[in-house]
Structure 1
Amino acid sequence: MTVGQLAGMIAAVAFVVLVIALVWFLVQVVKAIQQATANLADLTKEATELSHQADGILKNTNELLEDINDKADKVDPAFVAVGEVGQSVSDLNDASRDFMDHLAQRRARRNKWTTKLGEAVAVSLFNRLKNRKKEK
């Protein structure tokens, strides 16, 4: 074997080793891409399921909010009525106080008048009694 043939043989072996390494590398790349594709498919499937669940939750939330708004609209007049009743009770309380003050003033005037009348009657009786004693 000559040096040229030996060099050709070394080059051929090196080429075969290079091709084998390249094939092994490509096989690993293909496996990685297949695994990435499978993972991506699983993620897509799970994302789709989550999206459907989120849509369901959003729909339920919207329905609940509509229901709460409807009920709040129905309850608002009741709160307004309770507020009006409270105002009416307050007004009635004020009117009752005014009436009681008026009665107290009338009672005070009546007591003053009754006292003066009683004094006048007592003085009159006393004077009659005194005059009777003088006549006797």
Structure 2
Amino acid sequence: MTVGQLAGMIAAIALVILVIALIWFLVQVVKALREAITNLAALTQEATTLSHQADGILQNTNELLADLNHKAEKVDPAFVAMGEVGQSVSDLNTATRQFASHVAEQRAKRNKWTTKLGQAAVMGILARLKNRKKA
């Protein structure tokens, strides 16, 4: 066998090895792609399921929020009424304090007047007693 034939034989064997390696690589790529497609399909199905569940949860949340708003509208007048009652109680408390202050002032005036009247009466009695003792 000549050198040219030997070189041709080595090149042919290298080409066969290269083709086999390429085929093996392509088979592995196809397997990986099939697995990726399978995983992608499963993820898509799970995402669809989650999306439907999220829609259901969102719908329930909206219904609960609407119900809560409706109930809050019903309760709102009660809070307004309680606020008005609180204001009325505060006004009554202020009026009671003013009345108590007025009564205390009147009592103080009466006590001053009574004291002056009592003093005048005592002075008058003492003056009469002095006049009787002199007479």
The alpha carbon displacement at 1:51 in A equals 0.6
Partner of 2:98: 98
Query: Residues of 1 paired with 2:17 and 2:81: CA distance?
Result: 94
Partner of 2:59: 59
Partner of 1:71: 71
Equivalenced residue count is 135
Task: Give TM-score scaled by structure 2 length.
Answer: 0.72
For structure 1, which segment, 48-57 or 68-77, has the greater mean C-alpha deviation from structure 2 after superposition?
68-77
Query: Residues of 2 paired with 1:18 and 1:127: CA distance?
Result: 149
Mapped pair 1:38 → 2:38: yes
Query: Kindly tell me: are residues 31 and 115 of structure 1, through their superposed partners in 2, closer, same or farther at Cα, counting changes over 3 Å?
Result: same
Query: Kindly tell me: are residues 114 and 18 of structure 1, through their superposed partners in 2, closer, same or farther at Cα, counting changes over 3 Å?
Result: closer
Partner of 2:109: 109
Query: Kindly tell me: are residues 130 and 37 of structure 1, through their superposed partners in 2, closer, same or farther at Cα, counting changes over 3 Å?
Result: same
Provide the identity percentage: 73
For structure 1, which segment, 37-46 or 114-123, has the greater mean C-alpha deviation from structure 2 after superposition?
114-123
The alpha carbon displacement at 1:11 in A equals 8.3
Partner of 1:87: 87
Q: Which amino acid aligns with 2:74?
A: K
Q: Which amino acid aligns with 1:119?
A: Q
The alpha carbon displacement at 1:80 in A equals 1.9
Q: Which amino acid aligns with 2:51?
A: S
Task: Give TM-score scaled by structure 1 length.
Answer: 0.72
CA RMSD of aligned residues (A): 3.3
